[in-house]
Amino acid sequence: MRLRTEKSNQLSASILFFIGSVLGLMLMVLPFFMEFKKHEITQELSNLISSFGSILFSTLGIASYLSHKSQKEFLNHTENMLESFFDDALESSVKYGFVGITDRLSFEDFLNECREGDKVYWLDTYAPGYVQWLSLLESKANNGVKFHFLVLNPQNKDLCNLRAKEIGGRYEEAFNEELKRFTIDLHNISMKIKGKGKLDIRLYDDLLANPFYINERKREKDYALSSFYLRAASGTHFPHLKWIDNGGDSFVRTLKQYYKWKWDESIEIDDYYIDSLKKTESLIKDV
């Protein structure tokens, strides 16, 4: 692409130089041509036309040289700047483990990548459309995957209403009820697991800056997906950044440290808490 641009610029400059040179030469010889054709012309006008042609010819020659030189300098500068930018970006990507962006998060795909012995750290408010992968979640837990879910406390109505208002649309009415059902359904699954894995749930009482999901893998490098809380449901409408734990300052390690701290600060739930959620849910349905 750069070579095409450079050749195009050189061609344009050469054409302009050719046209200007022909015009300049024509002006230089015009006085002699007019004398040959017996046209009357004063010596002063003859000198003026000839001088103008000479100046035009010389100016175009210098301008063409400088233009070509400045184009090369500009292209070299741009090339060096882009090389520096991409070198820095690549270095940062390697340092922090950034590997790409997904257009949409698919929890089903995320779960399908989980294997026996993996540990999943899940941090979000809840997951709209979770019923589509609930059976897969149960299957993975029974087959040896250990899940840890940190979910927004459904009984903290102020925070639920605040997040629902941020997202807007149907969530202003549905957010709190769907969050309650999500929490209840996760608890029900956790009570049914008989295999090698498990499903633990805890609640937090604040609004996060970003949701994320970590797969701490037994046989491969750990990886994580993260997004942002803005004015849309992040789990269904936002792109997610993908990170790989490649050691050192890997961002996956930073996320894991934060998760483990937040887990220790979170609220444990029991059957009594779930029963109270079910009662409030039934009351709302009866209204």
90 occurs within a structural domain: no
Number of domains into which the chain is organized: 2
Q: Are residues 176 and 271 in the same domain?
A: yes
Q: The CATH number of the domain where 163 resides is what?
A: 3.30.870.10
Collect all residues with Cβ–Cβ distance below 8 Å to 230 and sequence separation of at least 6: 166, 238
Position 85 pLDDT exceeds 50: no
Least confident of 17-21, 58-62, 266-270: 17-21
Q: Residue 214 — very low, low, confident or very high, per pLDDT cuts 50/70/90?
A: very high
Q: Are residues 274 and 198 in the same domain?
A: yes
On whether the pTM is more than 0.75, the answer is no
Q: Are residues 133 and 16 in the same domain?
A: no
The residue ranking higher by pLDDT, 270 or 54, is 270
Residue 17: CB atoms within 10 A of its CB come to: 18
> pLDDT tens digit string along 6-50?
555 555 555 555 555 555 455 455 455 445 444 444 555 455 545
136 occurs within a structural domain: yes
259 occurs within a structural domain: yes
Q: Quote the pLDDT of residue 201.
A: 96
Q: Are residues 166 and 280 in the same domain?
A: yes
Q: Quote the pLDDT of residue 280.
A: 74
The residue type of 208 is L
Domain that includes residue 33, residue range: 1-69
Q: Are residues 40 and 174 in the same domain?
A: no
Query: 20-54: buried (b, 16+ CB within 10 Å) or exposed (e) per residue?
Result: beeebeebbebbeeeeeeeeeeeeeeeeebbeebe
Q: Are residues 149 and 46 in the same domain?
A: no
pLDDT > 70: what percent of the chain? 63
Q: Residue 263 — very low, low, confident or very high, per pLDDT cuts 50/70/90?
A: very high
